[in-house]
Amino acid sequence: MKITNVEAWVVEPDLGVFIDSHFGSEWQWTFVTIETDEGITGWGESSNVPRKTSLLTGAGVRAVKDALIGEDPADIERLWHKLFRRYTYLGSRGFPTTIISGIDIALWDIKGKALGRPVYDLLGGKMRDDIRTYANAWFGGCSTPEQYHAAAKKVVADGHDAVKLDPFLEMNEFHTMYQDGQISAAGENLGYDIIASVRDAVGPDVEILVDAHGHYNVPTAVRLANRLYDDSQIGWFEEPLPPEGLDALRSVRRQTRAPMCVGERLFTRWDFSQILHEGLTDYVMPDVTWTGGISELKKIAAMAEIYFIPISPHNAQGPGQILAGGHVSISTPNFYRLEHAIEFKPQYDRFLTEPLEWVGNKLLLGDRPGLGRELDMDAVRAALHPDWVA
Ligand code: MG
């Protein structure tokens, strides 16, 4: 079998109030398709965030096409390394690994379809029958503890037993810009009150995960994490600091009682190596569309397994991401929970020919070949970003 074409498709999902309030609707998903001379087409996802950067990764996928045409799509490992070395002279992680990710996922989809087996079977088979998730409940429109209380009750009533949020609303506007790492006393206290209110709403048995979005300096991160843990027993404090450098993370780790989760902005096994070796986190959360695809997520999971650290894949993009992360999750011993965004679910299904299958808060994968779902190319074409030329 030979690869005959590689294409990227940048679409605009309709993600509603959360994204609009944070990013002014500037959010796209990048899908990847790989065609072969035997009629099998695979697909993957190379989405970036936010502000039109999915157009950049889409252009990146097109730029590396020449390295793939004529190659045997079965040689996933070799093609991963070919791309990783051929296009990374100015740096090997992040942007290039996002391009590689969508291609890698599409190659696994092709391999599964060619062999008539689901991808998880090619990764060693099932460790479990379904995939535990946690709900990234954006709580769009909520601003008071009372509103969060009511919204959290609904999330649990809908069948979720783990919920993630960022209660420090004042920091939203600094989500992707430089800031001093501090928060006002009023903003900090409102955040504590929101989490206490959510804890009151959901009871003691539901996990509350707090995403700090890399906003803070060391003393602020330490103070927030410890107070949230002592007052409201949070399950983890995620990305306390900007992702650059380990010295500050070591300092936070030494001073913090709350469990820690990092990794959505760590790329490839090399970025995770020192974190795991030094015990700087309790959970790792690689993103399958950013860290290097199914191949790389599986390797990072095996590295974490050595340290008995659970893996909880980051998942804040589209349907290719949740399916690819799902196939690794279902086949991985040290899997914890797969993220999913409640408000994104209709948009996952919008771009698939058949909807994803859920039982309560668990994702099912079924036993169809490859990723198990097909991109709806009519829906993709109908939602192309105006700046993307098909
Ligand atoms: Mg996060």
Per residue in 201-258, pLDDT tens? 999 999 999 999 999 999 999 999 999 999 999 999 999 999 998 999 999 999 999 9
Q: Check pLDDT > 60 for residue 28.
A: yes
- Verify whether residue 213 is a known catalytic residue: yes
DSSP single-letter state for residue 370: B
Beta strands 260-262 and 3-11, pairing class = unpaired
Looking at residue 18, its pLDDT comes to 58
Q: Closest by alpha carbon to 100, among 61, 49, 59? A: 61
How far apart (Å, rounded) are the C-alpha atoms in residues 385 and 13?
A: 9
How far apart (Å, rounded) are the C-alpha atoms in residues 302 and 289?
A: 18
Q: Check pLDDT > 80 for residue 20.
A: no
Bridge partner list, 40: none
CA of 2 to the centre of ligand 1 (A): 38
CA of 264 to the centre of ligand 1 (A): 6
Place of tokens 């990072």: 300
Q: Which stretch of DSSP H or E encloses residue 207?
A: strand 207-211
CA of 184 to the centre of ligand 1 (A): 21
Looking at residue 19, its pLDDT comes to 60
How far apart (Å, rounded) are the C-alpha atoms in residues 115 and 128?
A: 22
Q: Check pLDDT > 80 for residue 23.
A: no
The single residue of 22, 149, 213, 340 carrying the catalytic annotation is: 213
Task: Write out pLDDT tens, residues 72-108.
Answer: 999 999 999 999 999 999 999 999 999 999 999 999 9
Looking at residue 174, its pLDDT comes to 80
CA of 341 to the centre of ligand 1 (A): 12
The single residue of 149, 160, 314, 327 carrying the catalytic annotation is: 314
Q: What is the mean pLDDT of residues 13-42?
A: 83
CA of 111 to the centre of ligand 1 (A): 31
- Greater pLDDT, 140 or 254: 254
**Global confidence as pTM:** 0.97
How far apart (Å, rounded) are the C-alpha atoms in residues 55 and 51?
A: 9
Could you tell me the two tokens for 96?
């290039």
Task: Write out pLDDT tens, residues 186-199.
Answer: 999 999 999 999 99
Alpha carbons within 13 A on the beta-carbon side of 287: 29
pLDDT-derived band at 185, boundaries 50, 70, 90: very high
Three-class SS state of 377: helix
Beta strands 29-36 and 41-45, pairing class = antiparallel
How far apart (Å, rounded) are the C-alpha atoms in residues 290 and 288?
A: 6
State the distance between the two ends of the chain, measured CA to CA, in whole angstroms: 26
Q: What is the mean pLDDT of residues 120-124?
A: 98
Looking at residue 209, its pLDDT comes to 98
CA of 66 to the centre of ligand 1 (A): 34
CA of 262 to the centre of ligand 1 (A): 8
Looking at residue 160, its pLDDT comes to 95
How far apart (Å, rounded) are the C-alpha atoms in residues 345 and 318?
A: 9
Q: Check pLDDT > 80 for residue 17.
A: no
CA of 56 to the centre of ligand 1 (A): 22
- Greater pLDDT, 158 or 108: 108
pLDDT-derived band at 177, boundaries 50, 70, 90: confident
Looking at residue 15, its pLDDT comes to 80
A 10 A CB-CB count for 115 gives: 14
Q: What is the mean pLDDT of residues 44-53?
A: 92
Would you say 280 and 311 are in contact if contact means Cβ atoms under 8 Å apart?
no
Looking at residue 374, its pLDDT comes to 98
Place of tokens 């029958």: 129
- Verify whether residue 22 is a known catalytic residue: no
Average per-residue pLDDT in the chain? 95
| Lowest mean pLDDT across 110-114, 207-211, 329-333, 359-363 | 359-363
DSSP single-letter state for residue 287: B
Looking at residue 138, its pLDDT comes to 77
Determine phi and psi for 235, rounding to 5 degrees.
-80, -35
A 10 A CB-CB count for 89 gives: 8
Could you tell me the two tokens for 119?
């991808």
